[in-house]
Amino acid sequence: MTASPDALDPAAGAAPFEAAFRYEAELADPVRPDLAETHRRAWARLAAAGTWWTGEERIAIAAESRAAVDCAYCRERKTALSPNAVDGRHDHVSGSVLPEAAVDAVHRIITDATRLTQSWVEGLAAQGVPDTHYVELLSVVVSVRSIDMFHRAMGLACEPLPSEPRRDTRPSMKRPPSAVGGEAWVAMLPSRKPPGENADLFPGPAPFVIRAMSLVPDAVRWLKELSQAHYLGMDNGEMFDFVNGKGPLSRAQTELVAGRVSAVNECFY
């Protein structure tokens, strides 16, 4: 039987990862159960086919996102005046599973994201990575990165990636017909409640950062799930509570951490 990831029951999907993210065995610090559960579900999503990439390809994207951290070519390019000024080859780990341009995209998103350009993103299509695939690739990269950075901050080794993709799933290849270009480098859903099966994505006018990956609606769902566990819920009113954070941190402490991460990354948004 083949299932679209849209139809995956996250709880059932997470079952093979029951032994993963067992923080209580490694940390004396109390990790909220919802955090560990969200990470297990993320691994389930990772191993399943997405909208455009297979489970095998998604795991390969995740593996490349980790390899980028120690990639010599990325290091050299990062210090160059322009990323295009340096020729070389990434220290890549995924064999021939991904197109070369996808490997390059993963490495650049991890190590040099502030110097990405619209023309580079648009040029990926001719190299086998159309906008839909790029957006899904981005969602995999940033999801794994966020979990890996939590581990780094807590002094934990990275969780091993899923050893096997879910072969009972295949990409659904559904591009939302209402996605339009012109506001950013990739097409997005308009800023109003999306119609039909994507009505759950945002209830009304949504900021760019929530719509950014809406060309692949499941990427937004994954984003919201991780945000709910790592920071604040995106559509349950928590964002409008300017006093309380998720747990014992106040909202001001939460925003100080958030803002400093953004500034060190030189993120304008």
Residues 199-238 that bind another protein (CB under 8 A): 207-209, 211-213, 223, 226-227, 229-231
| Rounded-to-integer distance, Cα 264 and Cα 197, Å | 38
Helix axes 217-230, 33-47, angle to 10 degrees: 160
- According to CB under 8 A, which one of 54, 143, 169, 198 is a site residue for another protein? 143
One of 35, 81, 86, 174 touching another protein (CB under 8 A): 35
Task: Read off φ and ψ for residue 127, nearest 5 degrees.
Answer: -110, 20
Q: Is 150 in the site for another protein (CB under 8 A)?
A: yes
Distance CA 113, CA 266 (A): 10
Does 135 bind another protein (CB under 8 A)? Our answer is yes
Binder of another protein out of 1, 28, 81, 85 (CB under 8 A): 28
For residue 72, state whether it binds another protein (rule: CB under 8 A).
no
The residue with tokens 């995209």 is 105
Pick the stretch among 6-14, 87-95, 181-189, 194-202 that binds another protein (CB under 8 A): 181-189
Of 96 and 119, which CB lies nearer to another protein in the complex structure? 119
Q: Judged by CB under 8 A, does residue 68 bind another protein?
A: no
By CB under 8 A, is residue 62 in contact with another protein? Answer: no
Contacts (Cβ under 8 Å, ≥6 apart) of 253: 245
Contact 151, 21 (CB under 8 A): no
Whole-angstrom distance, CA of residue 113 vs CA of residue 104 = 12
Q: Provide the minimum distance between the beta carbon of 164 and another protein in the complex, in angstroms, as a whole number.
A: 25
Decide if 202 contacts 210 (C-beta within 8 A): yes
With CB under 8 A as the contact rule, the residue among 29, 81, 95, 204 that binds another protein is 29
Name the H helices within 15-71. 23-26, 33-47, 55-67
Determine which residue in the list 30, 95, 182, 204 makes contact with another protein, applying CB under 8 A. 30
CA torsion 188-263-236-8 (nearest 10°) is 60
Is 129 one of the binding residues for another protein (CB under 8 A)? no
Q: How far is the CB of 7 from another protein (least distance, A)?
A: 25
Q: Is 81 in the site for another protein (CB under 8 A)?
A: no
